[in-house]
């Protein structure tokens, strides 16, 4: 979400960070809990998430309110409506093993995001916080210092916090926009966050039932883009604002105990559910659901040693490039393929898939971690 850098993608990533591990139990239902640092992700944790692409296209305001449920004490939330349309994953590892650790030396946890690149986090007894990220763009890698608190700890019913995070990039552009010579572009995105733990009770998802706290997070984002215009070099040069956008969203997350984070995560934007996902139990997953409706599906992503690639056609071609543009893989694909990536360095890679007529069908980002 940038390069085209968009705060919504950052928000998605922050939601994913919150959507992690737990185990269901029916023996201690309807007990108020406290979520602490031991319920957050650990190094070497790998989590799978089921994403709903169907229900969210048909919801209205009344539907959204009914599906999300009420705030308050001793609540029962039924989230079994969230469908398992597409599976994705998130892996957490030691930030000291990454090449840019010196940019975030206080980080004690790291992960990768297809939108944000390498992301650095701080987890302690008072909070879990995104310190920042190394963001790959078509103009090169950029360092974003965010310092955005995801959750205050320990967290109880009625816990609340406010926070602001800023992404501010300036980079050389050297092209014309609407007849104006634009030397540089500046992008600034500000996230105003207000979080309230507005309920406790029991949640049921397609894979789990457990005691939880529900956290409601309101986010207002302001995105502004400027261009540095050169009319007469060294004489008439100035910054001009191209565009400012203001948007808002509400995300509900259901946090359990037992070494995890949210069992489920639902985002509402303009009175409509725009995202819904739940933590998946690997024993209950149908791996054939790995986004096979797309021309290509790559799993897992992030990856470590091997990736499995599913395509809807035979005789496709796969090309994978590193961030500098160097081609790392050039392979012919059948419907099901296993590709060895264990010799790839940790980082973000770009893949391109061509059909049998050599037409590009899909491009995307592949995250490699070791």
- Tokens for 223? 């995105």
Q: What is the number of alpha carbons within 13 Å of residue 97 lying toward its C-beta?
A: 14
pLDDT by 10s per residue, the chain, length 370: 223 334 455 555 555 554 543 333 333 456 799 999 999 999 877 777 888 987 777 777 677 888 999 999 999 999 999 998 877 777 788 888 777 899 999 999 988 765 667 789 999 999 999 999 887 666 667 889 999 999 999 999 999 999 999 999 898 889 988 888 999 999 999 999 999 999 999 999 999 999 999 999 999 999 999 999 999 999 999 999 999 999 999 999 999 997 677 999 999 998 889 999 999 886 665 444 444 345 677 766 777 777 777 676 778 899 998 877 788 999 888 766 778 888 888 888 888 888 888 888 887 888 887 6
Q: State the pTM of this model.
A: 0.73
4 CB contacts (<8 Å, ≥6 apart)? Answer: none
CA–CA gap between residue 210 and residue 32 (Å, rounded): 11
Say what the pLDDT of residue 99 is: 74
Quote the CA–CA distance of 15 and 188 in Å, as a whole number: 21
Give the span between the Cα atoms of 109 and 111, in whole angstroms: 7
CA-closest candidate to residue 136, choices 357, 328, 356, 347:
347
Q: Which residues lie closer than 8 Å to 258 by C-beta, 6 or more apart? A: 21, 22, 23, 39, 210
Cα dihedral 42/303/151/142 (nearest 10): 120
143 contacts: CB under 8 Å, gap ≥ 6: 100, 103, 132, 133, 134, 135
**Closest by Cα among 113, 307, 289, 308 to 206:** 289
**What class has domain 290-368?**
mainly beta
Radius of gyration of the chain (CA): 22
- Ranges of each domain in the chain: 7-279, 290-368
Give which of 104, 111, 145, 107 is closest to 124, Cα–Cα.
107
State the CB neighbour count (10 A cutoff) for residue 44: 9
CA 172 to each of CA 138, 175, 229, 239, 243: distance values in angstroms, whole numbers, following the listed order: 11, 9, 12, 13, 18
The closest alpha carbon to 337, from 300, 311, 301, 368, belongs to 311
pLDDT value for 113: 67
pLDDT at 14: 54
pLDDT the model gives residue 189:
93
């Amino acid at each position: 979400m940038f390069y085209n850098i968009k705060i919504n993608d950052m928000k998605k990533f922050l939601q994913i960070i919150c959507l992690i591990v737990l185990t269901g139990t029916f023996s201690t239902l309807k007990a108020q809990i406290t979520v602490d640092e031991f319920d957050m992700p650990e190094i070497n944790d790998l989590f799978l998430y089921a994403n709903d692409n169907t229900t969210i296209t048909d919801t209205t305001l009344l539907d959204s309110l009914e599906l999300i449920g009420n705030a308050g004490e001793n609540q029962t939330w039924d989230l079994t409506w969230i469908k398992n349309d597409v599976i994705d994953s998130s892996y957490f590892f030691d930030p000291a093993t990454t090449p840019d650790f010196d940019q975030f030396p206080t980080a004690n946890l790291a992960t990768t995001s297809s939108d944000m690149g390498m992301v650095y986090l701080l987890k302690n007894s008072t909070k879990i916080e995104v310190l920042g990220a190394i963001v790959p763009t078509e103009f090169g890698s950029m360092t974003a210092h965010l310092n955005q608190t995801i959750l205050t700890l320990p967290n109880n019913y009625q816990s609340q916090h406010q926070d602001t995070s800023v992404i501010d990039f300036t980079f050389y552009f050297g092209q014309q926009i609407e007849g104006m010579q634009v030397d540089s572009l500046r992008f600034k995105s500000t996230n105003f966050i207000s979080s309230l733990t507005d309920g406790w009770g029991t949640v049921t998802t397609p894979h789990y039932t457990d005691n939880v706290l529900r956290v409601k997070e309101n986010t207002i984002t302001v995105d502004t883009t400027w261009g540095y215009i050169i009319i007469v070099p060294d004489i008439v040069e100035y910054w001009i604002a191209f565009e400012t956008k203001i948007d808002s969203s509400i995300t509900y997350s259901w946090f359990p105990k037992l070494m995890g984070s949210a069992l489920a995560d639902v985002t509402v934007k303009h009175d409509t559910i725009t995202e819904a996902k739940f933590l998946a139990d690997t024993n209950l997953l149908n791996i054939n659901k790995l986004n096979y409706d797309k021309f290509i599906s790559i799993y897992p992503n992030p990856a470590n040693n091997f990736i499995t690639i599913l395509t809807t056609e035979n005789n496709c071609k796969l090309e994978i490039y590193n961030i500098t543009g160097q081609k790392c893989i050039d392979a012919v694909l059948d419907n099901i393929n296993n590709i060895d990536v264990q010799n790839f360095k940790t980082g973000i890679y770009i893949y391109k898939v061509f059909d049998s007529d050599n037409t590009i069908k899909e491009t995307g980002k592949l995250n490699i971690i070791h």
